[in-house]
Amino acid sequence: MVLKNKIKINRNDALLVVDMQYDFIPGGALPVKDGDKIIDLINQLIKTFKLNQGIIIFSQDWHPSNHLSFASNHLNKNPGDEFQSKGIGPVLWPDHCIQGTKGASFHKNLKIEYVDKIIQKGLDPNTDSYSAFRDQLKDKETELRVFLNEKNIKRLFICGLALDYCCYYTAIDGLEFGFDVYFIIDASKGVDIPKGNISDKLKKMKESGVKFVNNQNFL
């Protein structure tokens, strides 16, 4: 599944670190198990890309408090309840990554000083925005695609949280927008909600043409 060959990063490559925020790390409102254990790996990747003139991008969930993906904004609903409506679902979440809160901030141990661009998503209260490229309705894009094209990026390397949601949808959109997409397995963690979601999303990424690598693939 994981590529064997070594990869040399250049100025046409971008590292996209997805949603490494306090609310997704153990102790946060919507923690991903072992989400804090990939920070050192991500910092190594940041160093590799910076040394080789690659571009470094962070995505950031940035929700208003009235976001309809929050169970608290629905009568008699709890986090984890199945819910499907236009732009929202497949489940409802606890309140998380609310604009301006500590939970929405990047973890203090991340090498944020080397980041070239921060892409905020999830600002529209009426739709989820798992992908760093656009919302679930595919109506509104973030700045990401334009920024990547301006920088003449060809290869997009994705890691972070959560594997089976924001990382997955970002990877699939990256393919659709014409980028050569690599998913860094050991620098990503998933929530596996519902059960089996991680294996399902990995299978779908592979079938779609996403290439799998790990931190040891980089020169």
Residue 135 among the catalytic residues: no
Catalytically annotated residue among 13, 19, 61, 124: 19
Catalytically annotated residue among 124, 128, 135, 166: 166
Residue 164 among the catalytic residues: no
Q: For residues 75 and 93, what is the distance between their CA atoms, to the nearest angstrom? A: 14
CA angle 163, 100, 124 (to 5 degrees): 65
The single-letter code of the amino acid at 40 is: D
Catalytically annotated residue among 50, 121, 189, 201: 121
CA-atom Rg of the chain in angstroms: 16
Residue 121 among the catalytic residues: yes
Active-site positions read 19, 121, 166
